[in-house]
Amino acid sequence: MSQDESGLISPDEPKTGMRNRTATVVVVVVAVVLLVAAVAIVPHFTSGNSSTDVQPQLATAAIQSFPVTVTGGGTVVPASEIGVNFSTAGTLAQIDVSQGQKVTQGTVLARLNSATATSDVARAQAAVATANAALLAAQSPLTPALSVQLHSTLSSDQAVYNETVESVQTTNTEDASLVADANQQLTADGCSVSQPSNASICQSALTLLQTDEATAQSDKSNGQLRISQAQSQVASANTALQTASTPNPGNVATAQAGVSAANAELQAAQDEVATTTLVAPSAGTIFEVNGQIGENVTGSATGVQTLPGTNAPIPPQTSGAGAAATTPGTEPFIVLGTNGSFVIGATFPATDVSELSAHQTGTITAVSLSGLSLPCHVLAVAQDSTVVNGSPVVYASIIPDIASSQLSAGMAVSVSLSVTQANSVLAIPQSAIFLLAGTPNVDVWSGKRSVATAVKTGMQGTTLVQITSGLTAGEQVVLSAYQGLPQTATSVAGS
């Protein structure tokens, strides 16, 4: 046999025959039937005497070094995408944009019927006006009409006081004049209070004097009383005016609280009106419009789940707890994003999370578009795993290092990342591995026949896989076995 540089071995003397896989399985009758069918279908290589013997393609287990990779599946998504929704429920009255339209931040996207909200604003505005009037009345309780009334009363009382003082003064002056006249008359009559010259005449003059003095004293006392009463009326009028002009702190506080409450209700009503108009939170392109005029919409938050370290949406999944699948009726009203710039939302088995990190490099390859393969790097890796389609995975944001017009949103790709280097390990081509009862096996070529041998695998590269037990360096294995490792597996650990 001769060996080429790739480790493949071709026998020098081709023989004819079939490969003979020796595996004894003791199970129920059904399993035996299945095994017989498999043996009948899968070609085996033997050293039979037939002239049609077929020689297998072989590789040699050898000590090698190779880059270790992890692989995952991914979907191309826009680098930025956000679901834009009304924050309140209502009936769609107007849609101002269409799919594919470019918009700037603040562009009106759609409107709800705002009749009820507008009516609420009008009522709230009226309530604010009433509350402000009540506050003004509490702060300035003296109304114009009351002011006129109280000032009129004060003026009237003041006039009565002035008249009373003048009247009392006049009366006191007249009384004093009468007393003086009586004294003069008494003197003129030559009468002395102690020794009257003419008892009859003096007695009459003395009586007049005493009467005038008593009258003067009485008028003086009465006049003072009248003045005091008039002063009291003036003071009462002043007090009433002052009281009416001074705000009551309790009334003012109550009125201020009413104004605050009314303003809060007005703000809430105005905010409600504002929520009936949907505007673009950022510039971008309208990807989707999920609604028609006349439909009822429910209020929900604006935004979507994003890939780690980006504003890119997590790709939709078909099923699975924690998947980003959009269930009917829950899609955003409008999807806004950026065109031409993409991120790969890739998933890797959660067991690989310790091997993933930012800045690792690798390759993305289109699943359905032949020839599209681009270098890439890891932008960020999610800290927590997510269950997708029943399996725990971790999301990673993958950035293409080269722009390509062939990339488009929704395209499925495979992602292969170089995570470390396997140095001087026993390795064979991955195509030599197949599974028997869930255990990795290889067909070891022993002269003229192959023998199925269980192995344990370790690190995996793009084409090579490390063998940690089951083979020794120099042993030859059959390539292109009937069952190989899945494309998404990073290694198959033996037990």
pLDDT in tens, 148-190: 998 999 999 999 999 999 999 999 999 999 999 888 888 887 7
Q: Is residue 236 in some structural domain?
A: yes
Q: Is residue 346 in some structural domain?
A: no
Q: Is residue 149 in some structural domain?
A: yes
Count of domains for the chain: 2
Query: Does residue 205 sit in the same domain as residue 267?
Result: no
16, amino acid identity: T
Query: Does residue 178 sit in the same domain as residue 226?
Result: yes
Spatial separation of the C-alpha atoms in residues 360 and 376, rounded to whole Å? 8
Query: Does residue 217 sit in the same domain as residue 202?
Result: yes
Query: Does residue 125 sit in the same domain as residue 164?
Result: no
Query: Does residue 149 sit in the same domain as residue 239?
Result: yes
Spatial separation of the C-alpha atoms in residues 263 and 130, rounded to whole Å? 11
pTM: 0.49
Rounded average pLDDT over 78-100: 89
Domain that holds residue 228: 144-246
Classify 144 in phi/psi space as left (phi over 0), alpha (psi -120 to 50) or beta: alpha
Task: Give pLDDT, residue 197.
Answer: 55
Query: Does residue 198 sit in the same domain as residue 261?
Result: no
Q: Is residue 317 in some structural domain?
A: no
Q: Is residue 375 in some structural domain?
A: no
Rounded average pLDDT over 355-384: 92
Query: Does residue 231 sit in the same domain as residue 151?
Result: yes
Query: Does residue 177 sit in the same domain as residue 224?
Result: yes
Task: Give pLDDT, residue 283.
Answer: 87
Evaluate if residue 329 carries a pLDDT over 80: no
Query: Does residue 133 sit in the same domain as residue 148?
Result: no
Task: Give pLDDT, residue 143.
Answer: 83
Query: Does residue 182 sit in the same domain as residue 197?
Result: yes
Evaluate if residue 281 carries a pLDDT over 90: no
Rounded average pLDDT over 213-239: 92
Query: Does residue 258 sit in the same domain as residue 217?
Result: no
Q: Is residue 222 in some structural domain?
A: yes
Evaluate if residue 6 carries a pLDDT over 50: no
Query: CB–CB of 318/325 below 8 Å?
Result: yes
Mean pLDDT of the chain: 81
Per-residue pLDDT tens for 112-123? 998 888 999 999
Q: Is residue 159 in some structural domain?
A: yes
Instruction: With cut-offs at 50, 70 and 90, classify the pLDDT of residue 315.
Output: confident
SS3 sequence of the chain: CEECCCCEEECCCCCCECECCCCCCCCCHHHHHHHHHHHHHCCCECCCCCCCECCCCEEECEEEEEEEEEEEEEEEEECEEEEECCCCCEEEEEECCCCCCEECCCCEEEEECCHHHHHHHHHHHHHHHHHHHHHHHHHCCCCHHHHHHHHHHHHHHHHHHHHHHHHHHHHHHHHHHHHHHHHHHHHHCCCCCCCCCCHHHHHHHHHHHHHHHHHHHHHHHHHHHHHHHHHHHHHHHHHHHHHHHCCCHHHHHHHHHHHHHHHHHHHHHHHHHHCCEEECCCCEEEEEECCCCCCEECCCCCCCCECCCCECECCCCCCCCCCCCCCCCCCCCEEEECCCCEEEEEEEEHHHHHHCCCCCEEEEEECCCCCCEEEEEEEEECCCCEEECCEEEEEEEEEECCCCCCCCCCCEEEEEEEEEEEEEEEEEEHHHCEEECCEEEEEEEECCEEEEEECEEEEECCCEEEEEECCCCCCEEECCCCCCCCCCCCCCCCC
Evaluate if residue 60 carries a pLDDT over 70: yes
Query: Does residue 205 sit in the same domain as residue 169?
Result: yes
Task: Give pLDDT, residue 169.
Answer: 93
